[in-house]
């Protein structure tokens, strides 16, 4: 059915039809049924309340059907009916005819359809673009004619049952109300929200006041004051540092009074802290005019001054990436602000901010999430284009990640560098993606600062009321090029001609205030002079500005200190046996009446035995011991990742599930009465947003063990921006420590190219200046210690752990309980407890890391390669030079081999080779250059064929255990492979020959080149 039907000359019949529909929907034909059914607002009025209301809300269940209401009134003989009918145009009272009721019903249906259309699509005719680049196209659904109204109908009162706050209104009045509310300088999108209370709240909030706030004189002056500060600051920078990049806010100045409003209104509604994330655009302005960073500090940075004292080190960052924090006081409240440092990568900071907020809410015991809020600013092109935006939005309502809503502020300058909106998004608005979480969206014209401040106020109230994300999309323009040295007319000549002729927001608003007699004609200019004078004075002072205190290790971080030296840094990780057993008990205890899965029950029995005998502690139990012992010490533990409660390999079972009720029981939260809590969160299927969130959490909470686990390690490249731009470089760039742990399942087990490698080589390539810790533990006990070590020192460093898959259930990959107990610690280098021969009789030392150790050990036993000793590098970075040097003392007479499962261009080889050689040279090892034994260089990390995998694995283990072989270069190995392919030679080790690799390698001289 289309709207034309309602304008049919015989449309009065529709009213009859509607009566029939109300009485019995199936009495009308399906087309009409669906038409009336779509009028959900009419459905909403069924009921019996005739009481006056402030405003009726479409979709509200309490109202009365229009025609029913009219009939009810007539039948009840209610005297008010005469009054209504009089207003509806019937003169003289008397019994109302069916014809009149029909006409009134039809008018009402048409009017309500029209009002609804404005609520849904009014934004399409709103005056949003300050530049007026495109004419506003009339939308047919917003035209009264579409509903059968004509000019003649403008003055007739129509019964609208308190919709728009009016019982009856003429079409003229209705049009005025809906156009002011929905088509002025604010366009609202909210009818996609399914929650009736949220929808109703917005409707009432904006319709009752025609979507505008009447600001007081003081309010108006305050808005102009903030606009003046914003504009003059940019102009001043432009004059003093012409051509220097500052990514000015020019054209979007109304953001500054809007942010001010968010804080002020937020403070009144209980807000104590705001964590901010924002891109380059207008950042200096936000720092100076919103966060209160001293102008002198900013000028000093423009003049080449450092943002931190020299002695704290670090590489620093450009000024429009730096974070800062401050306190702002309003009336009776004080709000703490912290702007999160961010990289160039647009939108990458979003999940980091959200994670920080989550941690801070816990610290402030902000159970209803009113005290701490995230405020994210965005560019239009970035918000529409970057995948991190929806991935982060997706976290907003999830139990393990929610923060009670973020306010998003888009500086929609209608351009992204040189890209026009038509090339940067498919949908009509840059904000469309936010509809996926049913966030309300307020589009607003940035040249109307009162409207911008008004929507900031409504958005803040919405967030504080419903604890949900909300979006402000401020249409504005960018007065200059992308940065101040770009020429925008190369690519957008017409737009920039228009901008060139366009007065600034401040100037326009100043004129308005003068016209409204809020101030005298020369006051705006006096405000400009005053601001310029202040900046000039601070500019003069900037030369002598010295940062005397580094902005770090404050607040939650106080008591922490910078790391000194490269020694073992073991921390005290050993735990009393009594405590270990206490945790063990909790791990195997289930509440009375809990319906445990039978297989899990058997696993718990096995676990109980481990603690009884003190033997055979497996990987998952060691991990649980690390968590449990930290919890007892009062350290919170948080782990999130895909399916991480169960564990990808069904090894963890952090939560037990009742088989009848699906209730969850987390044994580690029931160790003893007073303990910290563990939160294990099954994450959505995102890497980058979830890792960013956990990184953010770790920035704000140094005293919890915070971990992210990849489903398989190779998926972590989906989060590469967070790894490269934050985790590995954040401390150096921004002096921000993080103790985040990444658990990355890794290991060659024949599962194909995508489930074998967590790309050890990439992490090692990122290692420098003590920025990361990279470990590949081979025993449960060492894993336990490295997890605990993360909390037991006074500094924090991100920790990357390559975690095992098959070793989770490997008979030999177990530890004794004593290895967790008094006297134990993390080992960076490990040798075998039982060596097959005396060190003096050894001929070869095979160095390796991780799972391949067990393959080497088994094969060595099998073939009796007793003159081969094996050393495991448990920590790859910081490279354990001192520990390895101590080991080499005993093996100076031996050949050195590096064995790995990964192809030669991957895994640790290229990283460790030179370290090993340098240390061996220093230690006086006779032949210090290690020989490579592993897979040949490869484009794909692993083969897809299980058979070929096994052959390769056997070949590389054989190769490592073979004595006296000469090292083979990559080129030589490649040549040999080519010859083998041509049938002229044996393939080199690490490449399957096509038949099972030989077992007689040990002690023999395998063919080299």
List 167, 253, 380, 484, residue binding Mg ion (CB under 5 A): 380
Which of 413, 621, 640, 648 lies at the binding interface for Mg ion (CB under 5 A)?
413
Q: Which structure tokens are listed for 464?
A: 């504080």
**Listed residue (727, 730, 735) closest to 708, CA to CA:** 727
Among 112-120, 415-423, 530-538, 637-645, the segment contacting ligand TPP (CB under 6 A): 415-423
Separation CA 459–CA 468 (nearest Å): 10
The helix (H) or strand (E) run that includes residue 771 is none
Q: Which residue has the tokens 């752990």?
A: 801
CB-nearer residue toward ligand TPP: 248 or 524: 248
Q: Are 398 and 469 in contact (CB under 8 A)?
A: no
Backbone angles phi, psi at 434, to 5 degrees: -70, -15
For 983, counting Cβ atoms within 10 Å of its Cβ (0-12 exposed, 13-18 middle, 19+ buried), the class is exposed
- Give the nearest distance from C-beta 594 to ligand TPP in angstroms: 48
447 near Mg ion, judged by CB under 5 A: no
Q: Of the listed pieces 9-17, 39-47, 100-108, 373-381, which binds Mg ion according to CB under 5 A?
A: 373-381
Partner residues linked to 607 by β-bridges: none
**Interaction partner, residue 665 (ligand TPP, Mg ion, none; CB < 5-8 Å by kind):** none
Please list every residue from 327 through 346 that binds ligand TPP, using CB under 6 A.
Answer: 344-346
**979 within 8 A of 985, measured Cβ to Cβ:** yes
DSSP conformation letters of 39-84: -HHHHTT-S------S-B-TT-TTS--HHHHHHHHHHHT-THHHHH
Part in contact with ligand TPP (CB under 6 A); list of ranges 21-29, 377-385, 565-573, 725-733: 377-385
Residues 464-483 touching ligand TPP, rule: CB under 6 A, are 478, 482
Best CA proximity match to 57, nearest among 216, 224, 158, 193: 193
What minimum distance in Å lies between the beta carbon of 381 and Mg ion? Answer: 5
Site for ligand TPP in 476-515 (CB under 6 A): 478, 482
Instruction: For residue 416, state whether it binds ligand TPP (rule: CB under 6 A).
Output: yes
In degrees and rounded to multiples of 5, residue 110 shows phi and psi of -60, -45
What is the footprint of ligand TPP within residues 280-299 (CB under 6 A)? 281
The one segment of 102-110, 130-138, 347-355, 409-417 that binds Mg ion by CB under 5 A? 409-417
> Listing from the earlier edge strand, what are the strands of the sheet with 799-803?
678-682, 636-641, 704-709, 741-745, 799-803, 773-775, 875-877
> By CB under 5 A, is residue 421 in contact with Mg ion?
no
Q: Which does 346 bind (CB under 5 to 8 A by kind): ligand TPP, Mg ion, none?
A: ligand TPP
When asked if residue 260 is in the footprint of Mg ion (CB under 5 A), the reply is: no
Q: Which does 581 bind (CB under 5 to 8 A by kind): ligand TPP, Mg ion, none?
A: none
Do 744 and 716 meet the contact criterion of CB atoms below 8 Å apart?
yes
Nearer to ligand TPP, 343 or 988 (CB): 343
Number of residues that bind ligand TPP (CB under 6 A): 15
Using CB under 6 A, pick the residue from 167, 207, 366, 380 that binds ligand TPP: 380
Asked if 821 touches Mg ion (CB under 5 A), the answer is no
Distance, CA of 837 to CA of 842 (rounded, Å): 6
DSSP 416: B
Residue with tokens 């999160």: 340
Could you give the dihedral angle defined by the CA atoms of residues 222, 228, 233 and 236, in that order, rounded to the nearest 10 degrees? -150
Q: What residues contact 603, with CB distance under 8 A and at least 6 apart? A: 653
The interface partner of residue 417, options being ligand TPP, Mg ion, none and the CB cut-off 5 to 8 Å by kind, is ligand TPP
**Under the criterion CB under 6 A, does residue 382 sit at the interface with ligand TPP?**
yes
User: Nearer Cβ to ligand TPP, position 254 or 381?
Assistant: 381
* Interface pick for ligand TPP out of 63, 65, 257, 379 (rule CB under 6 A): 379
Q: What SS3 state is found at 286?
A: helix
Cα 403 to its chain centre, rounded Å, is 11
Give buried/exposed letters for 487-526 (b at 16+ CB in 10 A, else e): ebeebbeebbeebeebebbbeebbeebeeeebbeeeebee
**Number of other CB atoms surrounding residue 902 within 10 Å:** 26
The nearest distance, CB 431 to ligand TPP, in angstroms, is 12
Q: According to the binding rule CB under 6 A, does residue 413 interact with ligand TPP?
A: yes
Residue 484 binds to Mg ion (criterion: CB under 5 A): no
Phi and psi for 150 in degrees, rounded to 5? -125, 175
Select the residue interacting with Mg ion from 144, 379, 481, 880 (CB under 5 A). 379
Per CB under 5 A, 129 contacts Mg ion: no
Cβ-based nearer residue to Mg ion, 424 or 857: 424
- 269: helix, coil or strand? coil
> Of the ranges 360-368, 376-384, 745-753, 893-901, which one interacts with Mg ion (CB under 5 A)?
376-384
Contact 971, 937 (CB under 8 A): no
Q: Enumerate residues 135-194 that contact ligand TPP by CB under 6 A.
A: none
Of 406-414, 503-511, 906-914, 986-994, the window that binds Mg ion (rule: CB under 5 A) is: 406-414
* Residue 281 binding partner per list ligand TPP, Mg ion, none, with a CB distance cut-off of 5 to 8 Å that depends on partner kind: ligand TPP
CB of 493 to ligand TPP, least distance (A): 18
Q: Of the two residues 495 and 587, which places its CB atom closer to ligand TPP in the complex? A: 495
Using an 8 Å Cβ cutoff, are 579 and 628 in contact? no
With CB atoms as reference, the residue minimizing the distance to ligand TPP is 379
Closer Cβ to ligand TPP, 430 or 580, answer by number: 430
Residues found near Mg ion in the complex (CB under 5 A): 379-380, 413, 415-416
Residues found near ligand TPP in the complex (CB under 6 A): 281, 344-346, 379-382, 411, 413, 415-417, 478, 482
């Amino acid at each position: 059915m289309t709207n034309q039907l309602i304008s049919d000359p015989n449309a009065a019949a529709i009213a009859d039809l509607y009566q029939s529909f109300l009485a019995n929907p199936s009495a009308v034909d399906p087309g009409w049924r669906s038409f009336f059914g779509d009028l959900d607002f009419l459905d909403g009025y069924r009921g019996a309340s005739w009481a006056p209301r402030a405003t009726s809300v479409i979709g509200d269940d309490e109202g009365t059907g229009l025609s029913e209401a009219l009939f009810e009134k007539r039948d009840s003989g209610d005297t008010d009916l005469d009054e209504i009918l009089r207003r509806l145009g019937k003169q003289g009272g008397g019994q109302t005819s069916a014809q009149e009721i029909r006409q009134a019903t039809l008018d009402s249906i048409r009017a309500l359809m029209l009002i609804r259309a404005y609520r849904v699509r009014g934004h399409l005719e709103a005056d949003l673009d300050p530049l007026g680049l495109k004419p506003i196209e009339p939308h047919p659904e917003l035209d009264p004619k579409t509903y059968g109204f004509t000019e003649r109908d403008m003055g007739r009162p129509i019964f609208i049952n308190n919709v728009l706050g009016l019982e009856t209104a003429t079409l003229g009045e209705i049009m005025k109300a809906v156009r002011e509310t929905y088509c002025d300088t604010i366009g609202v999108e909210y009818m996609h929200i399914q929650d009736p209370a949220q929808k109703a709240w917005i409707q009432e909030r904006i319709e009752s006041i025609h979507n505008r706030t009447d600001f007081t004189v003081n309010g108006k002056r305050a808005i102009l004051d903030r606009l003046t500060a914003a504009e003059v600051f940019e102009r001043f920078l432009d004059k003093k540092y012409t051509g220097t990049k500052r990514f000015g806010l020019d054209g979007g100045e109304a953001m500054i009074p809007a942010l001010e409003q968010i804080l002020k209104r937020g403070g009144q509604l209980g807000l104590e802290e705001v964590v901010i994330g924002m891109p380059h655009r207008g950042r200096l302005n936000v720092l100076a005019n919103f966060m209160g960073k001293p102008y002198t500090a900013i000028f000093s940075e423009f003049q080449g001054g450092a943002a931190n004292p020299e002695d704290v080190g670090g590489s620093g960052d450009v000024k429009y990436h730096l974070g800062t924090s401050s306190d702002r006081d309003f009336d009776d409240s004080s709000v703490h602000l912290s702007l999160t440092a961010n990289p160039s990568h647009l939108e990458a900071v979003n999940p980091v901010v959200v994670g920080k907020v989550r941690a801070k809410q816990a610290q402030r015991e902000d159970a209803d999430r009113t005290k701490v809020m995230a405020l994210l600013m965005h560019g239009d092109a970035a918000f529409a284009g970057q995948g991190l935006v929806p991935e982060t939005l997706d976290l907003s309502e999830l139990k393990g990640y929610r923060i009670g809503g973020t306010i998003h502020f888009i500086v929609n300058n209608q351009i992204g560098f040189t890209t026009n909106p038509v090339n940067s998004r498919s949908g009509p608005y840059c904000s469309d993606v936010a509809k996926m979480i049913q966030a309300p969206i307020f589009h607003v014209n940035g040249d109307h600062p009162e409207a911008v401040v008004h929507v900031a106020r409504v958005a803040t109230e919405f967030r504080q009321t419903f604890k949900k994300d909300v979006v402000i999309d401020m249409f504005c323009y960018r007065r200059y090029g992308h940065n101040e040295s770009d020429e925008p007319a190369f690519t957008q000549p017409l737009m920039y001609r228009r901008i060139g002729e366009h007065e600034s927001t401040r100037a326009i608003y100043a004129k308005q205030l003068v016209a409204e007699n809020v101030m005298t004609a020369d006051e705006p200019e006096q405000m400009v002079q005053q601001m310029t004078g202040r900046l000039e004075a601070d500019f003069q002072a900037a030369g002598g500005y010295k940062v005397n205190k580094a902005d770090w290790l404050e607040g939650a971080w106080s008591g922490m200190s910078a790391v000194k030296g490269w020694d073992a840094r073991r921390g005290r990780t050993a735990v009393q046996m009594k405590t270990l057993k206490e945790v063990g008990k909790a791990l195997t205890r289930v509440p009375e009446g809990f319906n445990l899965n039978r297989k899990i029950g058997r696993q718990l029995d096995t676990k109980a035995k481990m603690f009884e005998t003190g033997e055979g502690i497996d990987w998952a139990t060691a991990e649980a011991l690390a968590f449990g012992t930290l919890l007892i010490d009062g350290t919170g533990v948080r782990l999130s990742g895909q399916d991480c409660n169960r564990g990808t390999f069904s090894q963890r079972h952090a939560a037990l599930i009742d088989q009848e009720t699906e209730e969850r029981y987390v044994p580690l939260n029931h160790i003893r009465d007073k303990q910290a809590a563990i939160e294990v969160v099954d994450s959505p299927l995102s890497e980058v947003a979830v890792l960013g969130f956990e990184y953010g959490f770790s920035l704000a909470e140094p005293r919890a063990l915070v971990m992210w686990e990849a489903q398989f390690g190779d998926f972590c490249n989906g989060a590469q921006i967070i790894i490269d731009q934050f985790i590995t470089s954040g401390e150096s760039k921004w002096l921000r420590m993080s103790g985040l742990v990444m658990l990355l399942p890794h290991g060659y087990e024949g599962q194909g190219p995508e489930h074998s490698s967590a790309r050890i080589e990439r992490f090692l390539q990122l290692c420098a200046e003590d920025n990361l810790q990279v470990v590949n533990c081979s025993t449960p006990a060492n894993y336990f210690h490295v997890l605990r070590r993360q909390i037991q020192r006074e500094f924090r460093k991100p920790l990357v752990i390559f975690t095992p898959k098959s070793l989770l259930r490997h008979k030999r990959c177990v530890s004794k309980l004593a290895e967790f107990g008094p006297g134990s610690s993390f080992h960076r280098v490990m040798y075998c407890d039982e060596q097959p021969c005396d060190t003096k009789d050894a001929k070869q030392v095979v160095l390796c890391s991780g799972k391949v150790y067990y393959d080497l050990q088994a094969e060595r036993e099998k073939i009796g390669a007793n003159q081969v000793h094996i050393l495991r590098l448990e920590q790859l970075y910081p490279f354990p030079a001192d520990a390895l040097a101590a080991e080499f003392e005993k093996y100076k007479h031996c050949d050195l081999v590096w064995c790995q499962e990964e192809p030669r261009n991957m895994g640790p080889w290229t990283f460790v080779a030179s370290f090993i050689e340098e240390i061996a040279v220093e230690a006086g090892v006779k032949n210090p250059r290690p020989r490579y034994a592993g897979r040949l260089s490869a484009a794909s990390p692993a083969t897809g064929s299980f058979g070929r995998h096994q052959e390769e694995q056997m070949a590389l283990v054989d190769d490592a255990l073979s004595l006296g072989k000469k090292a083979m270069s990559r080129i030589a190995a490649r040549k040999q492979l080519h010859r083998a392919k041509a049938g002229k030679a044996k393939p080199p080790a690490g490449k399957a020959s096509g038949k099972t690799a030989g077992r007689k390698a040990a002690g023999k001289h395998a063919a080299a080149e």
